[in-house]
A and B are shown apart, each in its own frame.
Chain A
Amino acid sequence: MKIRIGHLYYNILNLYGTHSEVTIIKKQLEFQGIEVIIDQKEINEDINFNDYDFIYLGASTDYNMFMCLDDLKKYRNDIRDYLKNKVIYSSGNSINMFGKSIDDIEALQIFDFKSTKLNKRIISEVVLKHKDINEPIIGVFNQSYVLDSNNNYIFKLIYDIENYPISFEGYENKGFIGTNIIGPIVCRNPYFTEYLVNKIIKSKYPNFIISEYNLKEEKDAYNYFMYRFHNSIRIK
């Protein structure tokens, strides 16, 4: 069994530690006995979406995100086809590329959401809930853009220290999973990692029997954080 990961624009979509998420996903797939090949792609290199079973994009500066958007636009149809039965995980501001527009700039238009830049950057620690994951998701808002994900949000906000008027975050639709939350989410949320890796495996091998993951250290870190700081959380 083999899973091929396309790590797109690995050398510029690498902010907020997001590049580390790919390693964790790779190691967990390998722990399940699956061979993993990571193909790192740069701007201006040809991307053949048929080559991949899973695609990862990380966070970046806004300037770099627009550079990547320009490069990705020629693959709109390929991305639509790819998403019919495969998984993309977009971490950080790269999620904005997949909507209809980023302010008045045309985005990839894979999905209907619009991203709007706020006057002020949102900065807050957050705790969120994913409908299919029992344990809360921990992370940080550090973003200028918000998107109107409507019913396709990925996380529901249950706590934030700054009390921003935002209730939902990110976008999830079929094989696409995207969040603007900084963590890095995969590195700090082992239960989300399990959810994501399950989804990657099942998209290619629906009958694969998944055994327990090797996430003890990550769970220790998550559990201690929740234990140590949970008392200060006010649930909305």
Chain B
Amino acid sequence: MNILIVVISKISMIILKKMGRGTSFPGKLALTLNKNIIKDFKLPSKTIFVTGTNGKSSISGMLKGFYEAAGFTVGNNSKGSNLINGIITEFIEHSDLKGTINKDVLIIEIDERYIKEVFKDIKPHYLIVSNLARDQQARNGNFTIVFDDIKRVLTDDIHLFLNADDPIVTNLADGHNGKLTFYSLERTIYSTKSPTYNNLDMLYCPRCNNKLNIEFFQYSNICSFKCNNCGFGNNIPDYQGRLTKELDLEINGNLINLENHALYTAYNYLACYAVLKETGISEELCMYAFKNTNYKIKRLAKFNYSKKNETLLVCKVETPLTWNTSIEYISRNNTNEAAVIIGFDKTSSRYKLKDISWVWDVNMSLLNDDKIKKIICIGEYAYDIKAKLKHDSVNLDKVEIELNSQRMLKIIEDMEYNNIFLVYALDMEKTFKKLLNGVNYEN
């Protein structure tokens, strides 16, 4: 390791932090000075990478909290960038001048398209893949391209943690002779015999092209499946959770309170539990960590503004799965007389093109619910959302248009219904937070 590069990068980090800017510039600087610098870092024996279409931020953030609660020192990039500059910035922050990362555990959230770049030079000991689905189609094309990128760089020295209920993710095990750990969730009260959507990503066996035998669906393409022809998907999960009647998650006889009752949270806990156990954490310490970690879920916040109950469900543009799970969350909620404000202003933070094909992959029919009295489509694409609501046979009498997202607080103040669900993309959440300026969130 070139000590000078580490020193310069660390100094830039200190200066930027003093300026209140936590950017990935130090990593970019280090890369400019040595494009192969990532090879020179010495990683701790518990180096865990987390990737997938959704859940990587949550899982890595949760794992950080759990390991810390269990008494470990942890390096983690969940508050920074999950691209290569952000990862190197994280390495620099936690390393000594020789590039040794002095933490017990290193947990890195990594963008699924950057795995192929990073894994050329370094490999984690453990890799969690939460799920793979259609996402950021301008960038990714489709999920098979992402799958191929990941599959190509997997080596047998990586211990894979795979969501056994995702057929695309499960296929990563094909030909992997290293250690494999599968996690899964049993049938829940929300499970359905038929898919909720017509646009699932994988209904045919990726190995023999036979139609998969799907016993039930959890949400989207997350399901209990197997191929009757070749046996694909016939894995016995190493860790299986169960949702209780009270909607707690039961793992190995222990109960975990799922505050938001979202199924994806149950899967996130299962991934964490599997990794904690496989890295030698005792059952008692796992449960202690779960109970003593105050982890805030990024995508879901509850708060009170203007004497109303607001639930903020943060979605990602170009990722229909996040909108579908948010809409499912609303439909499963027991509130009376609710309003929904839904929208986004920008179609991509990365590309100039305005692709909204993903909107037509979101199933809005669940908003055709008597308890939802009003739907306000907000932002630059409000008319497109309304057109999709019409497509999904939602009663348009309760649908209104507001093109100006700066008016969202006024809309809440004037709302005649006390329960309001805000289904916003990240860009609109930022606008919302700025407008709120001081109102406290609580999970």
Contact = CB atoms under 8 A, between A and B. Distances in A.
B386 A221 contact: yes
B323 to A, nearest CB: 12
B383 A221 contact: yes
A125 B356 CA distance: 11
A220 B383 contact: yes
B100 to A, nearest CB: 40
B383 A123 contact: no
A182 B357 contact: yes
A98 B134 CA distance: 25
Interface size band for A: 35 or more
Interface string A115-159: 000000101110000000000000010101000000000000000
Contacts of A39: none
A161 B353 contact: yes
Q: Which of B209, B355, B357 has the most CB of A within 10 A?
A: B357
A121 B360 contact: no
B360 A17 contact: yes
Contacts of A183: 357
A171 B387 CA distance: 27
Contacts of A11: 198, 200, 203
B396 A217 contact: yes
B292 interface: no
A188 B137 CA distance: 17
A36 interface: no
A16 B357 CA distance: 5
A24 B393 CA distance: 11
A43 interface: yes
A17 B137 CA distance: 11
A179 to B, nearest CB: 13
A164 to B, nearest CB: 12
B198 A62 contact: no
A23 B391 contact: yes
A12 interface: yes
B435 interface: no
Contact of B358 (A17, A121, A225): A17
A114 B399 CA distance: 46
Contacts of B307: none
Interface string A15-30: 1111110011001000
B211 A42 contact: yes
A67 interface: yes
A12 B352 contact: no
Contact of A17 (B199, B211, B403): B199
Interface stretch (B63-71, B74-82, B141-149): B141-149
B380 interface: yes
Given A217-B383, A221-B384, A187 B141 contact: no
Interface string A195-226: 00000000000000000000001101100110
A10 interface: yes
Nearest to A141: B353
B359 interface: yes
A61 B137 CA distance: 11
Interface string B123-159: 0000000000010011001111000000000000000
Contacts of B204: 12, 43, 64, 67
Given A123-B353, A229-B354, A187 B199 contact: no
Nearest to A23: B391
Contacts of A121: 141
Q: Which of B358, B381, B391 has the most CB of A within 10 A?
A: B391
B141 A142 contact: yes
Nearest to B141: A121
B353 A125 contact: yes
A19 B352 contact: no
A6 interface: no
Contacts of A74: none
A99 interface: no
A62 B357 contact: no
A212 B351 CA distance: 37
A14 interface: yes
A184 interface: yes
B211 A220 contact: no
Nearest to A186: B360
Contacts of A161: 352-353
Contacts of A184: 357, 360
B112 interface: no
A214 to B, nearest CB: 9
20 contacts: A14-B198, A15-B134, A24-B391, A43-B204, A43-B209, A121-B141, A123-B353, A125-B353, A125-B354, A140-B357, A142-B137, A161-B352, A182-B357, A184-B360, A217-B390, A220-B387, A224-B403, A225-B354, A228-B380, A229-B354
**Nearest 3 interchain pairs by C-beta:** A17-B360, A125-B353, A221-B383
